[in-house]
Amino acid sequence: MGTAFRTRAERALGRDRARANIRRAMDGLIVKRRKAFPDTAELEALRDQGHAIRDHALANLPALLEQLEQRCTANGIEVHWARDAAEANGIILGILARHGARALLKGKSMVSEEIGLNAELERHGITPIETDLGELIIQLADEHPSHIVAPAVHKDRLEVAALFREHFPDEPYSEDIEGLTALARRIMRERFRGTRAGLSGVNFAVAETGTLCLVENEGNGRMSTTAPDVHIAVTGIEKVIERLEHLAPLLTLLVRSATGQPVTTYVNMISGPRKPDERDGPREVHLVLLDNGRSRIHADPELRATLRCIRCGACMNHCPVYHRIGGHGYGTVYPGPIGAILEPQLQGLALQGELAQASSLCGACAEVCPVRIPIPQLLNRLRHEHAEGSIVPGGNEPGLQRAVWRAWSSMNGSPALYRGVTRSAGLVGGLLAGPLAAVFGPWTTTRDAPRPAPQSLHALAREEGFADD
């Protein structure tokens, strides 16, 4: 089954170095998160709050977006609406053109990845400057983030050192992390001083006060939103929350779930551009609200839970599939369990429906999700819809799949038939291995085909004196 996802996953499995780097990082993040929530009862109460706050925001989404727009506008923030990536890019390019900007400082933003902003900027002769250390590494390597919180998690220090030597040959070579970080500081400082436009994402947009809340550790987010003349914030429409006080539990959940820290170094709450008596801060702040498929997800009462996500990344940190194939194995902007439910919905089942298979349904993602998104349940729903749909790109014929499962179901539905089949399978036993391998096809290239035991478990149990019921 040489489908797109399987091909990518296979390639990812072959990258031993990246796999080891990812595995090490994920193991560390799991321990850090656990230590950050020592009190289970408190954690569960917090998750209930996070769930309720996000559910409430989604139930009232249109009204809250209008309130957000009204408060932001009153604060002097200009609000823009974009139905899709092209509209969002158009709005951003329009603002930059008006300012004659040739370069754009970028704080970390997954939505900017979603809309393919960097490529679009370059097409228009504007240089995107990724300022987050992980994002800088990814930009230099001409790759995409492999994790939504730690974009360069698949690279180790030696790979970063080689990249820095290639791109900054005049800077002293260093292989230690302090040295590499210091180099990034030197390179970036000049750009912070000289660049007049900045862009960021938004972690939470507060409707009540018209406030954009951003969390970060490096200070690049503050630099990108404070030092330039114009700040553009781009976010999905689902990021709005009603009340400022809702930030308190959500920040705790987000930061502890993501990295195990009690709080990030900086929590940046932006409620407007520079006022006439102020001496710094951007003179213009723009907020771009992006739909890009979210209103479609919002329309389905079950799938809507997907939009509760606060992008902490805990689901991928705990996912056995993500651990093995990393973000690049998924081939989408959002990887891991959240990507496996979000991407098929954003891009459609025809394009990304296969991603719903990228899970063992072990349930770890739902156990750690700070806003209780029932990811396995949603994966099952998407799998079902994908199998029912007429398009299964490159996969088995849905007709054959259906026939196989119907036969399986009727066999297991009838005790007599079940006994008959297991007994006869036991009798011919090993003889079946060859034909079975042919039936299972590529499935058996990395696995042994099932080999029926001479006696079924039922038969063995009866011999030991257990009654059938």
β-bridge pairing 197-200 and 103-106: parallel
Query: Residue 362, Cβ neighbours under 10 Å: how many?
Result: 14
Are the beta carbons of 282 and 274 closer than 8 angstroms? yes
Min CB(273)–another protein separation in Å = 7
The yes or no reply on residue 43 touching another protein (CB under 8 A) is no
CB of 378 to another protein, least distance (A): 17
Q: One symbol per residue from 112 to 141: x for binding another protein (CB under 8 A), - otherwise; what is it?
A: -------------------xxxx--x----
Q: Determine if 41 is a binding residue for another protein (CB under 8 A).
A: no
Q: Beta partners for 375?
A: none
Q: What is the rounded distance in angstroms from the CA atom of residue 254 to the CA atom of residue 33?
A: 11
CA distances from 341 to 283, 324, 396 (A): 39, 18, 22
**Dihedral in degrees, nearest 10, Cα atoms 399, 403, 404, 408:** 150
Contact with another protein (CB under 8 A) among 10, 122, 166, 245: 245
Q: How far is the CB of 29 from another protein (least distance, A)?
A: 7
Q: Kindly state whether residue 369 participates in binding another protein, applying the rule CB under 8 A.
A: no
Residue 265 contacts residue 217 (beta carbons within 8 Å): yes
Q: How far apart are CA 353 and CA 296, in angstroms?
A: 16
Looking at beta carbons only, is 67 or 352 nearer to another protein?
Answer: 67
Q: Name which position in 73, 265, 409, 410 contacts another protein (CB under 8 A).
A: 265
Say whether residue 258 binds another protein (CB under 8 A): no
Question: Mind giving me the DSSP string for 107-147?
Answer: ---HHHHHTTHHHHHHHTT-EEEE-SHHHHHHHHTT---SS
Return d(Cα 241, Cα 236) in angstroms, integer.
Answer: 12
Number of H helices, E strands in the chain: 23, 10
Of 60-68, 337-345, 380-388, 441-449, the window that binds another protein (rule: CB under 8 A) is 60-68
Among 16, 39, 170, 178, binds another protein (CB under 8 A): 178
CA distances (Å), origin 242, targets 209, 246, 392: 9, 7, 40
- For residue 170, give the amino acid letter: D
Nearer to another protein, 181 or 409 (CB): 181
Site for another protein in 284-313 (CB under 8 A): 289, 291, 295-296, 298-301
Whose Cβ is closer to another protein: residue 182's or residue 392's?
A: 182
**Residues contacting another protein: total by CB under 8 A:** 95
Contact pick of 251, 315, 316, 349 for another protein (by CB under 8 A): 251
Give me the residue label for tokens 């900027």: 121
Contacts of 305 (CB under 8 A, 6+ apart): 373, 374, 378
Question: Pick from 227, 325, 369, 382: which binds another protein (CB under 8 A)?
Answer: 227
Do the Cβ atoms of 173 and 160 come closer than 8 Å? Answer: no
Beta-strand ranges (E) seen in 174-322 are 197-200, 204-206, 211-216, 230-236, 240-241, 266-270, 284-290
Stretch that binds another protein, among 62-70, 120-128, 318-326, 446-454 (CB under 8 A): 62-70
Among 170, 275, 463, 465, binds another protein (CB under 8 A): 275
Instruction: Point out which span in 50-58, 166-174, 420-428, 446-454 binds another protein (CB under 8 A).
Output: 50-58
Residue in 34, 28, 442 with CA at minimum distance from that of residue 256? 34
Q: Quote the least distance from Cβ 147 to another protein, whole Å.
A: 10
Which bin fits 14, alpha (ψ -120 to 50), beta or left (φ > 0)?
A: alpha
CA nearest 370: which of 164, 219, 149? 149
Query: Taking a C-beta distance cutoff of 8 angstroms, is the pair 208, 242 a contact?
Result: yes
Of 8 and 274, the one with the shorter C-beta distance to another protein is: 274
The only residue of 78, 143, 171, 208 in contact with another protein, by rule CB under 8 A? 208
189 lies in the site for another protein, by CB under 8 A: yes
Query: Does 374 interact with another protein (rule: CB under 8 A)?
Result: no
**Nearest distance, CB of residue 249 and another protein, angstroms:** 6
Q: Which stretch binds another protein (CB under 8 A): 33-41, 112-120, 152-160, 416-424?
A: 152-160
Which residues in the 10-39 window bind another protein by CB under 8 A?
Answer: 21, 24-25, 28-29
Closer to another protein at the Cβ: 223 or 349?
A: 223
Are 19 and 13 spatial neighbours (Cβ–Cβ below 8 Å)?
Answer: yes
Q: Does 61 bind another protein (CB under 8 A)?
A: yes
Question: Which range binds another protein by CB under 8 A, 256-264, 339-347, 425-433, 439-447?
Answer: 256-264
Choices 47-55, 119-127, 320-328, 421-429 (CB under 8 A): range interacting with another protein: 47-55
- Selected from 97, 119, 248, 407, the binder of another protein by CB under 8 A is 248
Which of 244, 351, 387, 432 is close enough to bind another protein by CB under 8 A?
A: 244
d(CA 253, CA 267) in angstroms, rounded, equals 14
